[in-house]
Homo-oligomer: A and B are copies of this chain.
């Protein structure tokens, strides 16, 4: 708590008041930083021209005699040469960075997508640059602009919020775009589609098989295409079994506000249980829009003395990594997050390396996978 006024940055953030901090060796003189060595230095030391040095140090494949190559490599090593990627990108107009925009880093689903992207990108010596938009269109725009400014010409957006003009601008600039879980299609982009109808069918089939006939559907607001699709799938599947399913059986949360920590789905789940209990119907099973929401549902249910699956069964969608950690472990329909990231990234890199200007619009189609755990029990009627 020393010298806090000396600290030139804004310290008005509330949490910073609680932090004790100390300065150790203020007077430690920094070793004067020599600028990093450049191609020029290397060339000079090796006694070759700049261009020759460039040719070997950039792995251009351009033929250089073994003699010179050796001298250059040695000099580079001695001088601890590190290429300046900025200059390289500026000159050659080709970046090896892929931008990735996610709504939030707090939802493990998106983290899994990133993992998939990363696995492919790394394989091809691409770096990924991750941004989170916090489900905020303005932020999304800002990040896209920043990508343009940094001449990052490949971009993957997960669960984009609007068909922003900024995105079209990006494409006009020559940027390649892939959209995962998008609400819309756009020309010249790679997109994913998920068979939500099929996923819903899997969930319903299983519940029916376990003897359930009174089924409720609990969801976040239907502002996203995928939520509507799942609802439609659930409805069709249930009706196909000749079981009634009406508006009364659908519970829609009203609060779309993002919580501070970014896991507002959890709070929606809790809210949904309130709605749910206002209904008089005697449900034996709940289908939740996703796992995070299901977590909230389980907790709120427990607090009302209703336990899953003894008193009511629960199934949802996503299969995030925590779904096996909660009690009871969630029975869920997995949406292949990693595959989405990986395949879309593959295709994106492919599209970059295609030098012709023909642009391939491709759609990847994914299917859900049923994962049985403990949140649904068999009932005999």
For A67, what are the chain B residues with a Cβ–Cβ distance below 8 Å? none
Chain A contact-residue range equals 35 or more
Complex Cα gap A77–B28 (Å): 47
| Closest B residue to A111 using CB positions | B105
Mark the stretch among A86-94, A226-234, A247-255 that contacts chain B. Answer: A86-94
What string of 1s and 0s marks CB contacts (under 8 Å) between A169-186 and chain B?
100111000000000000
Contacts of A173 in B (CB 8 A): 33, 36, 82
In the complex formed, the residue of B with least CB distance to A88 is B149
A321 CA to B104 CA in the complex, in Å? 13
A266 near B26 (CB under 8 angstroms)?
no
A-B contact pairs, 13 of them (CB 8 A): A9-B120, A9-B124, A15-B339, A19-B365, A21-B365, A22-B363, A24-B361, A24-B362, A29-B357, A86-B86, A127-B146, A261-B321, A299-B325
Given A23-B360, A84-B149, A299-B325, 8 other A-B residues pairs in contact with their CB atoms under 8 A: A8-B353, A11-B346, A13-B120, A15-B336, A21-B362, A82-B148, A84-B90, A296-B325
Residues of A within 8 A of B (CB): 7-11, 13, 15-16, 18-33, 36, 80, 82-87, 89-90, 105-106, 108, 111-112, 114-115, 118-120, 123-124, 127, 129-132, 145-146, 148-151, 169, 172-174, 187-188, 261-263, 266, 295-296, 298-299, 302, 321-322, 324-327, 329, 336, 338-339, 342-343, 346-347, 349-350, 353, 357-367
